[in-house]
Amino acid sequence: MNAKRIYLSNPHIGHLEQEYVAEAFATNWIAPLGPHVDAFERELAQAVGTAGAVALSSGTAAIHLALRLAGVGRGDTVFCSTLTFVASANPILYEGAVPVFIDSEPDSWNMSPAALQRAFIDAELQGRLPKAVVVVHLYGQSADMAPILELCGLYGVPVIEDAAESLGATYRQRSSGTFGRFGVYSFNGNKMITTSGGGAIVSDDLEALDKARFWSTQSREPVPHYEHTQIGFNYRMSNVAAAIGRGQLRVLEERVESRRRVYDRYFRALSRLDGIAFMPEAPYGRSTRWLTALTVDAERTGWNRSRLLEELAGRNIEARPVWKPMHLQPLFQSCSYYPHEQHRSVSDELFGSGICLPSGSDLQEEDQNRVIDAIMTLVSSVAGKRVLQ
């Protein structure tokens, strides 16, 4: 097999990144802290419209510190979207707290307000309200924040937005990640923009952000000798990483447009096929289309998402099933789960039939055509067999 490998989501570097990194080298700011970190925090906060930001070593670290800021501790409960990457939920375990998973709703694939409401009603009856709610914005699309914020407000529970996949997305004209008490972004290599590994918390609560900054540098008290009164972490973003991030922020809008174009091409080529449905874009905002996701109805197509994954793998094309929901993970088997409807779990359906296609902002049209051809070949070969039968 000689065909060049096509990846799910590549790092995509612009022109300014090298300049900023060179400057970091020239000024010998290779040490972790430095001027690019401060500038990156300012520029990120300005880009999304919050009062401040803290740059950290990963999105996971950002979720961890946001949970600590919300006061999550041992034995507490935290509600969390079930259809997500494990990094949304792992930090709940770091703090010795217990996740309760909330299903998706079919219109956005994001947290179901109906399931959230049932979880709140039960929690109140048990006298055990959660300390925080982690809302994930899946594959670049914001969750429907209005009903979620209303419910959380009613019960007085803070919202942490896991916007790792949705930097550049909007909800009612405002940036995804700026509605909860804290918003979290990731700059991992496969995300909308990258610092070659990094993350951030954004918020309007500058005092809380200062606390996170303090915790992220081992909670060193501001005295000459090493004085510590609180537990600390080594979670700060480095100056070199922030230099890359500053360059990447300048091209964020282009990256969103590129990924949306990738989605549009898939949609035009495949949406008329019987039994294929793309992840819907909710009318309340703009998705980044971080990954183009679709579902395959096995009965109508005669093939399923596993067969499609095989077909693509055979052509050296990387594709992935939709996230396996957290409530189905052995790691979380003892945790409670609230499906969208009493007897309907939307995330189970999406996991069973959903697939993410290569969606990088640098995906070339000819490479995307290879992906489309693979799907069309599968469609016509199965259709051919059906006619013969």
Ligand X SMILES: *Cc1c(COP(=O)(O)O)cnc(C)c1O
Residues at the contact surface with ligand X, assessed by CB under 6 A? 58-60, 84-85, 87-88, 136, 162, 164-165, 186, 188, 199
Residue 322 Cβ vs ligand X, minimum distance, rounded to whole Å: 12
Closest CB to ligand X belongs to which residue?
59
Q: Residue 201 belongs to what H/E stretch?
A: strand 199-203
Q: In what order do the strands lie in the sheet with 77-81?
A: 52-56, 199-203, 182-186, 159-162, 132-136, 77-81, 98-102, 337-338
Output DSSP code: residue 326.
Answer: G
Distance CA 388, CA 380 (A): 12
Residue 142 Cβ vs ligand X, minimum distance, rounded to whole Å: 13
* C-alpha R_g of the chain: 22
Pairing type for strands 199-203 and 52-56 reads antiparallel
Q: Compare residues 57 and 295 and give the one whose CB is closer to ligand X.
A: 57
Q: Compare residues 58 and 176 and give the one whose CB is closer to ligand X.
A: 58
Q: Compare residues 195 and 203 and give the one whose CB is closer to ligand X.
A: 195
Distance CA 133, CA 100 (A): 9
Distance CA 40, CA 250 (A): 11
Distance CA 214, CA 227 (A): 13
Residues in the chain: 389
Q: Compare residues 237 and 374 and give the one whose CB is closer to ligand X.
A: 237
Cβ burial, residue 195 (10 Å; 0-12/13-18/19+) = buried
Residue 329 Cβ vs ligand X, minimum distance, rounded to whole Å: 14
Q: Compare residues 355 and 379 and give the one whose CB is closer to ligand X.
A: 355
Residue 121 Cβ vs ligand X, minimum distance, rounded to whole Å: 27
Q: Compare residues 77 and 188 and give the one whose CB is closer to ligand X.
A: 188
Residue 225 Cβ vs ligand X, minimum distance, rounded to whole Å: 33
Residue 137 Cβ vs ligand X, minimum distance, rounded to whole Å: 8
For 35, 36, 313, the CA distances from 19, given in Å and listed in that order, are: 14, 12, 37
